Homo-oligomer: A and B are copies of this chain.
Amino acid sequence: MDKILRINMGADGGPKAEAEPVGSYAGMGGRALTSAIVSKEVPPTCHPLSEDNKLVIAPGLLSGSAAAMSGRISVGCKSPLTGGIKEANSGGQPSQMIGRLGYAAIVLEGKPKDDTLYRIYINKDKVEIKADKSLKMLGNYAVAEKMKAEYGDKVGCISIGPAGEMKMAAASVAFTDMEFRPTRHAGRGGVGAVMGSKGVKVIVVDDAGCSVRSPKDADRFKEANKAFVAGLRKHAVTGQGLPTYGTNVLTNVINEAGAYPTKNFMWGRFDGCSKISGETQAETENTRGGEGSATHGCHRGCVIRCSGTYYDKDGHYLTKQPEYETVWAHGGNCGIDDLDTIAMLDRLDDDYGLDTIEMGATIGVAMEAGIAKFGDAQAAISLVKEVGKGSPLGRILGNGAAVTGRVFGVERVPVVKGQSMPAYDPRGVQGIGVTYATTTQGADHTAGYAVTANILGVGGSVNPLKPEGQIELSRNLQIATAAIDSTGMCLFIAFAILDQPDTFQALLDLLGSFNGQKLTGDDVVGLGKSILTMERDFNRRAGFTKEMDRLPDYFKKEKLPPHDVTFMVKDSDLDQVFNW
Contacts and interface: CB of A to CB of B under 8 A. Distances in A.
A407 B399 contact: yes
Contact of A49 (B168, B196, B409): B409
Nearest to A169: B406
Interface in A50-64: 50, 52
A236 B544 CA distance: 46
Interface in A6-65: 43-47, 49-50, 52
Nearest to A197: B409
Contacts of A44: 547
Given A169-B406, A403-B403, A548-B543, A395 B396 contact: yes
Contacts of A47: 411, 552-554
Contact of A545 (B408, B543, B552): B543
A399 B406 contact: yes
A541 interface: yes
A393 interface: yes
Contacts of A108: none
A542 interface: yes
A159 B391 CA distance: 32
A52 B166 CA distance: 36
A543 B547 CA distance: 5
A392 interface: yes
A45 B552 CA distance: 8
Interface string A389-404: 0011101100100010
A49 B411 contact: yes
A388 to B, nearest CB: 15
A550 interface: yes
A333 B288 CA distance: 59
A411 B542 contact: no
Interface string A359-397: 000000000000000000000000000000001110110
Contacts of A395: 396, 407-408
Q: Interface of chain A, helix or strand or loop or mixed?
A: loop
A294 interface: no
A72 interface: no
A167 interface: yes
Contacts of A546: 543
Contacts of A392: 391-393, 396, 407
Interface residue tally of chain A, by bracket?
Answer: 35 or more
Given A392-B396, A396-B395, A543-B547, A168 B50 contact: no
A455 interface: no
A544 B547 CA distance: 9
A193 interface: yes
Contact of A45 (B393, B411, B547): B547
A407 B408 CA distance: 13
Interface in A177-200: 193, 196-197
A196 B408 CA distance: 13
Contact of A409 (B46, B193, B547, B553): B193
Contacts of A46: 553
A167 B369 CA distance: 12
Nearest to A402: B406
A393 B407 CA distance: 10
Contacts of A168: 409
Q: Give the interface centre of A168, A399, A409, A547 by most chain B CB atoms within 10 Å.
A: A409
Nearest to A398: B407
A50 B546 CA distance: 21
Contacts of A391: 392
A554 B51 CA distance: 11
A354 to B, nearest CB: 15
Nearest to A171: B409
A146 to B, nearest CB: 24
Given A47-B553, A395-B407, 18 more contacts: A45-B550, A47-B552, A47-B554, A49-B409, A50-B411, A50-B553, A168-B409, A193-B409, A197-B409, A392-B392, A392-B407, A395-B408, A396-B396, A396-B407, A407-B407, A541-B547, A543-B545, A543-B546
14 contacts: A43-B553, A45-B553, A50-B553, A50-B554, A169-B406, A193-B409, A196-B409, A392-B407, A395-B407, A396-B407, A403-B403, A403-B406, A541-B547, A543-B547
**A-B residue pairs, 10 tightest by C-beta:** A167-B409, A543-B547, A392-B393, A392-B392, A543-B545, A395-B407, A47-B411, A49-B411, A50-B411, A399-B407
